[in-house]
């Protein structure tokens, strides 16, 4: 008797609908994307003259800082002059070999 009830229970389990084990995430539809793009465009169009001028000033400040960094890097990347090399060598010899330059 136990085998018959066990077989029926197994058949019922196989025929029943399987339980969902994972969560299915749907990708956002095109309408949501289009709506977001349209809202962003509307926000961009609403800039006042003061905001535009402030953004322009910030942009110019950033450009000035950027070019200043480039100039400083260019200066730092130059090789040392003959006088600088001589001074470095004299300092090295003075500290390492107790040599004094006349």
Mean pLDDT by 10 residues, the chain (102 residues): 78 71 64 77 75 88 94 92 93 82 64
Tell me the Ramachandran region of residue 98: left when phi exceeds 0, alpha when psi lies from -120 to 50, beta otherwise: left
Report the pLDDT value the prediction gives residue 36, as an integer from 0 to 100.
Answer: 81
Report the pLDDT value the prediction gives residue 61, as an integer from 0 to 100.
Answer: 93
Report the pLDDT value the prediction gives residue 85, as an integer from 0 to 100.
Answer: 94
- What are 46's two structure tokens? 């609403």
Report the pLDDT value the prediction gives residue 58, as an integer from 0 to 100.
Answer: 92
CA–CA dist 94, 88 (Å, integer): 10
Report the pLDDT value the prediction gives residue 34, as an integer from 0 to 100.
Answer: 79
């Amino acid at each position: 008797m136990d085998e018959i009830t066990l077989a029926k229970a197994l058949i019922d389990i196989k025929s029943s609908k399987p339980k969902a084990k994972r969560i299915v995430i749907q990708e956002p539809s095109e309408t949501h994307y289009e709506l977001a793009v349209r809202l962003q465009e509307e926000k961009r169009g609403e800039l006042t003259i003061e905001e535009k001028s402030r953004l322009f000033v910030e942009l110019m400040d950033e450009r000035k800082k950027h070019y200043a960094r480039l100039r400083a890097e260019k200066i730092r990347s130059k090789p040392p002059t003959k006088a600088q090399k001589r001074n470095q060598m004299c300092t090295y010899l003075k500290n390492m070999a107790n040599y004094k330059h006349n």
